[in-house]
Every structure is written in C-alpha cells, then in structure tokens.
Structure 1
Amino acid sequence: MTAIGANALDPADSLVILFGESATPALRDVAVIQQFDDPKAQLALTVAVGDHVEIDSVSYLVERVGKLANQNLQTIGHVSLIFDQIPDQPMENALYLEPKVKPQLTIGSTIIYLTK
C-alpha cells in the first residue's frame, strides 16, 4: 500500500476500499492505494470463491466475488474488501472475506491475491 486516505479507515466500518495509483484526489481521500508489482499479472488477475487474499501475512478466505470485482481489479486496481456477513444485496465491486476482522493497515502493508 502506497497511501491511505484521511477518511479511508473508519474503525466502525467493515469496508476497505482499494484503488490503484490512478485514483482521483477525491477517491484517494476515502481509499487505500495499492500498487501492483507486475502490471501484466494485474491484467490477468481473476479472484474466485475459495481463493485467498493475504494481508500482512494474514490469510483471508474469499467467500463471495462481486460481478464487477475482477474487471475493476484488472483495469483500475479497484475492489472493496468487506470483513462482514454477505448481505441479501451484496456489493458487486467487492470481495467478502473471512475472518470478519478488518486488519490494521499501514503504508507499506502488503496484499497478495492467492488465486488458483
């Protein structure tokens, strides 16, 4: 993670909004900026239910992948990480993760998408 917006990490919210380096200033205020080491790998990234997202060496199981999540990850590095139960109307740009404990993110935190 290269930047964390001033309003990005509300302790009472189970949501973390990730964006790539191209995020606008308004988005940067509410988002955590992630940088992919390999742009070609980003373009091919496809997260599926049963995959894992590793944040600072803690593994989270992907329980649901929204319909827009992979396309947004591939093109603009955007996805919302949700550490909560899957609602009746889930967000379509989100990954729902287990365990339901939001990590303490800092600049320099690492995210690894462990896909099959």
Structure 2
Amino acid sequence: MHKAEVIFIGEHAIESQEPIILFFGEGVTDGLREYSVIQKIEDPASIELAVGDSIIFGEQEYKVAHLGEFANKNLQSIEHASFIFSDENPHEKLTSSVYLTPSVMPKISLGMTITYQG
C-alpha cells in the first residue's frame, strides 16, 4: 500500500467535461500545472499497480479496470497518472492511463489522502 497527499489543485484540473483527472508530482511543468492535481507519494519508485487493485481518493474507492503499459513507470518516475473514470471499455486505450470504475469522478480536495493498494 502506498499513500499520497494532494498538495495542489490546478484551476482547471477538475472541471473537465471528460471523465479524466491528471495527477503529477511536484516536478510538473508550468504548462500542465493549472490542469493537474499535484500529489506527493511516499516512495513512488515501489508502486506497482495491477488490474483489480484499488485506489482510494479520501473515502471514495475505485477499482483498476485497465492499466496502460506506461502507467506504473510514470507513477514511479514522475508521480504521473491520467485517471479515467469510465465503466465503458474503450477500443483505443491510452498507454499512460489508469482506467477506474465506477464512472463517477471523485471529489478531490487539498490535503486529501490517496491510497494505492494492491
């Protein structure tokens, strides 16, 4: 299990019409910062998500339905994941994304704990 803390929420990070939230670590570029949720993960290098694992945003639990081939590497190196909240199974999946169910997006708040558990 790994814990992370939400340390910044960009002005446009959670207002998208698409069911997606971009998470990055503190090294996010200025151009992406306003569209991202910035997280600080305890020991990101050892995260290894798999289909069926849980990610808990505060008290809101989601299951990993699909994991893009670069998702773990991005979490480990730059604390980045594109979380897509969808019950549908898209034909073309993004290689850096983590697809989560249910399709209802979580409420994200500053200081919130994110728990990655396998």
TM-score in terms of structure 1 length = 0.92
Q: Which has the higher helix share?
A: 1
TM-aligned CA deviation for residue 11 of structure 1: 4.9
Cα distance in 2 for partners of 1:27, 1:109 equals 20
SS in 2 for 1:35: strand
Give the alignment's Cα RMSD to 1 decimal.
Answer: 1.0
2:117 paired residue number: 114
Contact 1:62 1:96 in 2 (8 A): yes
Cα distance in 1 for partners of 2:30, 2:109 equals 19
Deviations 1:35-87 (A, max 9, x none): 01x23xx1010100010001112210100000010000000000011101231
Cα distance in 2 for partners of 1:17, 1:43 equals 19
Matched, 1:5 2:32: no
Q: Which has the higher strand share?
A: 2
1:95 paired residue number: 98
- Percent identical pairs in the alignment equals 35
Q: What pairs with 1:10-89 in structure 2 (closer than 5 Å)?
A: 10-36=15-41, 38-39=42-43, 42-84=44-86, 85-89=88-92
Gap regions ≥5 residues in structure 1: none
Cα distance in 2 for partners of 1:86, 1:96 equals 9
TM-aligned CA deviation for residue 5 of structure 1: 0.8
Cα distance in 2 for partners of 1:96, 1:110 equals 19
Cα distance in 2 for partners of 1:47, 1:97 equals 12
Cα distance in 2 for partners of 1:66, 1:5 equals 24
Cα distance in 2 for partners of 1:55, 1:15 equals 14
Deviations 1:6-45 (A, max 9, x none): 1111252200000001111111111100001x23xx1010
Structure 1: which 4+ aligned runs deviate by more than 4 Å? none
RCO (CA 8 Å, sep 6+): is it higher in 1 or 2?
2
